[in-house]
Structure 1
Amino acid sequence: MDLLRLRYFQVAARHEHISQAAQELCIAQPSLSRAIARLEAELGVLLFDRQGRQVRLNQFGTAFLRRVDRALRELDDGRLELLDAAGLEHGSITIASETQLTLTSVLKGFMAEQPGVTVRLNQLSADLMARQLRAGEIDLCLASQPIGGPPLVTFELVQEKVFLAVPVSHPLAGAERVSLEDIADEPIVATREGYWQRTLTDQLFESAGLRPNITCEGNEPGATQDLIGAGLGIGLLPQIGRTAATHTPVSWLELDAPGCVRTLSLVWNEESYLSVAAERFRDFAIRHFRNNRE
């Protein structure tokens, strides 16, 4: 069975869209379609239900994907293990997070300590991080919300308070503390579903029996403070944002709501082989955040 076709199938199954999968693989869409068609002919069953370029895994595809993920992960782990055994400990690491700003300080220290390591970064939603960890496509991720469950292992790095940020000209800017009822009708800047700011916003409002008036949403949590400072609305920001001098100034208020915190965790797949480089980054990140708490 052609390994290249299996990798093509794996990417197509993740995207469930032929054009998007072909773009990631840097091949023409007809070539990807033909490769999957040959794999289906070899297996004797269809793996996808097709609607134009949009495809959906059927029951056969779902069952086969589990085996393909496991087989390709074993082969990738074997390659990494051989590289480590041959003394090529520098290697490379693939790390994901919801915002790359979370990784800035830890990567600066790690790269100074391990200049030979190549680091690849992916910015993903929580669901995609969990999916790619399970598939062995990334080594580690820094998650701001729970994405655990076997075989994923979670190590809590730090828990920080989350504040309500408002433009400096906002009527609430002079307040020290507000309730959810006080901001029930305010326009809110948040991220799209799947990112921690949106998840926390929805959870807090739902617990109070309210619905947030989200008027601005995007895929970059790190841009939220600048959007709030520009006057587009109010929103949730973590404690770390108060020390970032590069952002547009905002006023910081405490939100009277239980559970208004962000927990940053390091997550990896205990069934996947971690290279020496990945282990070193994991250990460095744990030390880094522990030292910053003390």
Structure 2
Amino acid sequence: MDLLQLRYFRAVARFEHISRAAEELHVAQPSVSRTIARLEAELGTDLFDRQGRRIRLNQYGALFLRHVERALSELDDARRAVADARERGLGRVTVTAETLLTLARALGSFRATHPAADVRLYQSNAVEMERRLRAREVDFCVASQPLTGAGLECVELAREEVLLAVPYGHRLAGRRSIRVAELAHESFVVSRPGNWPRALLDRLFAAEGLTPQISCQADEPGASGELIGAGLGIGLVPAISRQEGIRAPVTWVRIDAPDCHRVLTLVWHRDAHLSEAARAFRTFITSTPFMTHRFPPARQAQP
């Protein structure tokens, strides 16, 4: 049994598809198939159930995967520890968030304080965040949805109300507040499933026994304000965007619903190796009010 077999197995287990795993690994499909076959022969049991061209991880494969993930994570941590010891300065910190706009000013403040730190950024939805943490691909997630898997630790960074943004001239533009049931026939601009605005919208509507009408889906949650201002629909936008003075021509309406807010948390894996830069980032980001990094003084957009 060697590392190549373990990495190939992990990729096939993740996708439950030989061709997709081969693409991820940048190798030929037959090579992946032969490697998995050798591994199963060495273990004396099948790790996947096969039905024609489809494969599914079986109970032995799931058991083996848990140990493989742990072993490969330890090896990745060891590699990073050696690299950190070899590098000059603070080393590297890797961070992911659903929208990088959330991190821009906070990371700018951090780099101004720690110029020797090597900062790397990624954009991920909640599912991908948890996978990246477990695979040790990132040190931290700045999450707008709960990440509650085993071994994960988190601290709340900020809590903010979520408002309804509507374009100028919309029938709701003069309202101060509105109930979710009144929005049943409105068209919404929202991010794709997996991102926090879509999760919140679905939850608010489900509580009323309704399903939202979607007119526009975007991969970048931070683009919603501009799309709403262009008249493509209405949408959920964090209240802090109002204070930031968003440039899009929108007005704001409070939503009369419980728990209509976003909670930002910093999440990391308890057992992961953290470089000096990563430890400095965690201390920095949790010791200063998060929103004070990100936004200038409040100002209201004008029609």
Give the aligned residue type for 1:204. L
Q: Is the 8 A contact 1:5 1:35 kept in 2?
A: yes
Judged with a 3 Å threshold, the aligned counterparts in structure 2 of structure 1 residues 80 and 172 are, in CA distance, closer, same or farther, namely same
Instruction: State the match for 2:94 in structure 1.
Output: 94
Judged with a 3 Å threshold, the aligned counterparts in structure 2 of structure 1 residues 246 and 258 are, in CA distance, closer, same or farther, namely closer
Instruction: State the match for 2:70 in structure 1.
Output: 70
Instruction: State the match for 2:232 in structure 1.
Output: 232
Within-5 A mapping of 1:1-294: 1-50=1-50, 55-85=55-85, 88=88, 90-243=90-243, 248-290=248-290, 292=292
Question: For 1:159-185, what per-residue CA distance to the aligned partner results, in whole angstroms no more than 9, with x for missing partners?
Answer: 011000112231111222111122111
Give the aligned residue type for 2:139. D
State the 1:158 CA deviation.
Answer: 0.3
Secondary structure of 2:103's counterpart equals: helix
Q: Is the 8 A contact 1:19 1:53 kept in 2?
A: no
Instruction: State the match for 2:301 in structure 1.
Output: none
Secondary structure of 2:164's counterpart equals: strand
The whole-number CA distance in structure 2 between the counterparts of 1:124 and 1:274 is 20
State the 1:38 CA deviation.
Answer: 3.0
Judged with a 3 Å threshold, the aligned counterparts in structure 2 of structure 1 residues 239 and 54 are, in CA distance, closer, same or farther, namely farther
The whole-number CA distance in structure 1 between the counterparts of 2:206 and 2:61 is 37
Secondary structure of 1:258's counterpart equals: coil
The whole-number CA distance in structure 2 between the counterparts of 1:160 and 1:199 is 16
Judged with a 3 Å threshold, the aligned counterparts in structure 2 of structure 1 residues 224 and 136 are, in CA distance, closer, same or farther, namely same
| Percentage of identical aligned residues | 52
State the 1:288 CA deviation.
Answer: 4.2
Gaps of 5+ in 2: 294-303
The whole-number CA distance in structure 2 between the counterparts of 1:55 and 1:76 is 28
State the 1:255 CA deviation.
Answer: 0.8
Judged with a 3 Å threshold, the aligned counterparts in structure 2 of structure 1 residues 70 and 227 are, in CA distance, closer, same or farther, namely same
Superposition TM-score, scaled by structure 2 size: 0.86
Secondary structure of 1:142's counterpart equals: strand
Give the aligned residue type for 2:62. T
Bigger CA drift: 115-124 or 139-148? 115-124
Judged with a 3 Å threshold, the aligned counterparts in structure 2 of structure 1 residues 168 and 151 are, in CA distance, closer, same or farther, namely same
Judged with a 3 Å threshold, the aligned counterparts in structure 2 of structure 1 residues 25 and 114 are, in CA distance, closer, same or farther, namely farther
Q: Is the 8 A contact 1:154 1:268 kept in 2?
A: yes
Q: Is the 8 A contact 2:106 2:285 kept in 1?
A: yes
The whole-number CA distance in structure 1 between the counterparts of 2:205 and 2:250 is 22
Question: For 1:71-103, what per-residue CA distance to the aligned partner results, in whole angstroms no more than 9, with x for missing partners?
Answer: 111122223333445564532232221112211
The whole-number CA distance in structure 1 between the counterparts of 2:220 and 2:20 is 20
Judged with a 3 Å threshold, the aligned counterparts in structure 2 of structure 1 residues 56 and 111 are, in CA distance, closer, same or farther, namely farther
Secondary structure of 1:171's counterpart equals: coil
- Equivalenced residue count is 294
Give the aligned residue type for 2:113. E
Gaps of 5+ in 1: none
